[in-house]
Amino acid sequence: MRLTTSQGASVPESAVIELRERLRGPVITEEDQEYPAAKAIWNAYFERRPGAIVRVQGAADVITAVRFAKEHDILLAVTGGGHCFAGTGSCEGGLVIDTSALKGIRVDPERRTVQAQPGLLQGEFDAETMHFGLAVTGSQESYIGIGGMTLGGGLGWLGRYRGLLVDNLLSADIVLASGEVRRAGPEDDADLFWAIRGGGGNFGVATAFEYKLHPQGDCLAGLLAFPVAETGAVARRLGEFNESAPDALTTSFAFLTVDGEPAVGLGYVHADTSAGAEEAVAPLAGLGRKPLLNHVGRMPYLAVQRMLDDNTVAGRRLYARSFHMAELHPEAVEVLGDGYASNPSPLSLVGGGLMGGVMAQLPPDATAFPHREGYLVSVLSQWEDESEDEQNIRWTQDVYERVLPYTTGGVYVNHLGDDGPQRVGDAYGVNYPRLRALKAQYDPENVFRVNHNILPAD
């Protein structure tokens, strides 16, 4: 695949040669041996063939690549960890800015802050901060990049306890569509700072972040499972339990198979073992008649952050529909359970988790991320053979349509699939008009559009 303009015309080879000469990092094209690995993304269903991949070595490379793409009218995508339900870290025939080499990190244990670059994976970030006994909300999988995680809002096991990742963001360096670099913070470019805290990659390329950190020790983590016939009753009791759950406790539900039989599973993490954690989680074992599984124990935080890593694996094909529910409707959970029982692939996942707590102490318009309460739920089909695409996609869409009456209409932007522009508006809710106005201010030509795109206001 040759590098092409957004209109399909080939970019002259002389321009590509000039780009190589102006960059510190490599420009990888299909003639290069490493191209197949460089173009690979986490979700193989959406894999594309970019015309060139720029593995940037610093902000200067990002500026050069952005200006080059704009000058030659080239479709531009940005990737870090490569993890995205909708595969927006790549584009057909365009230019990909790959930030995966930007892995600088420096912890200030006295100020309890950390400066970090977007190429870090969650596990790399956590390992460095936990060396000092400090952490901040991050992805529940260690292989996800912190760049996209941050810009989308940042949910994780510590969200109810410490707030969203963007609630702990102190500043960020952003390369705009003009090629300018801005440091966005509460007092510097406050509108841009508001927009990037949940607005995804719509406003520029992040090259550095600074976060607030918090003391973090071991966690109390557990997994329960009950017969699937008890799904409605378990969901009702879990919803009642969650109404008074401490902020340090996050609960989730998912469907699984135990000894060959379908079951409804409950997972939980209590992030503060000094605060009566055992007593707080004890009622969970009584949500059903008799648990099929009841595993509980203290775990190092780094282990907690890795415990879901095997649920989704890079290179599989994946199709997702996600949504918010204001309450844990027992009927909705039963619909999800029925859907899980009919899934065409044993790799597929259906489940959701509790929000609220500290993250809900801020109003919906405090940052671009608006949906801070209730439950985030996902239906994820996973499979490996391209011939099974149609049946898995159809299953995902069918389960989603059946549960739709129980949803709020909201969705977490980092969990969007190829849902279309209407769902982008749903992801931002009351904040969408302001985001569109700011998009028109910072990126009026919509250079950054290979994403869950916020259209510039007219």
Kindly report, residue by residue over 195-240, the tens digit of the pLDDT.
Answer: 999 999 999 999 999 999 999 999 999 999 999 999 999 999 999 9
CA distance 269 to 302: 13
What CATH number labels 105-216? Answer: 3.30.465.10
Beta-carbon contacts of 322 under 8 Å, excluding residues fewer than 6 positions away, are 85, 376, 377, 378, 379, 411, 412, 415, 416, 417
Please state which architecture CATH assigns to domain 13-98. Answer: 2-Layer Sandwich (3.30)
Q: What mean pLDDT comes out for the span 252-271?
A: 95
What pLDDT does residue 274 have?
86
User: Do 376 and 355 meet the contact criterion of CB atoms below 8 Å apart?
Assistant: yes
Helix, strand, or coil (residue 332): helix
Question: Mean pLDDT, to the nearest integer, of 371-393?
Answer: 98
Which residue type occupies 43? N
Measured between alpha carbons, how far is 95 from 52 in angstroms, rounded to an integer? 5
Grade residue 58 by pLDDT with cuts at 50, 70 and 90: very high
194 conformational bin, left if phi > 0, alpha if psi -120 to 50, beta if neither: alpha
Cα 146 to Cα 149, 158, 227, 418, 433: the distances in Å are 5, 15, 37, 22, 27
* Cα–Cα separations (whole angstroms), residue 369 to 200, 273, 366, 407, 417: 10, 29, 8, 18, 17
Look at residues 42, 143, 22, 130 and name the one whose alpha carbon lies nearest to residue 86.
42
Q: Residue 403 is encoded by which pair of tokens?
A: 């549960």
CA-based nearest residue to 266, from 354, 164, 359: 354
Are domains 13-98 and 105-216 of this chain identical in fold? Answer: no
Other CB atoms closer than 10 Å to residue 261's CB: what's the count? 12
Confidence of residue 181 (pLDDT cuts 50, 70, 90): very high
Q: State the pTM of this model.
A: 0.97
Domain boundaries, the chain: 13-98, 105-216, 219-421
pLDDT score at 306 = 97
The structure tokens listed for 65 are 């690549």
Architecture of domain 219-421: 3-Layer(aba) Sandwich (3.40)
Q: CA 229 to CA 218: how far, in whole Å?
A: 34
* pLDDT greater than 80 at residue 275: no
Average of per-residue pLDDT across 251-271 = 96
Residue 70 near residue 447, CB atoms below 8 Å: yes
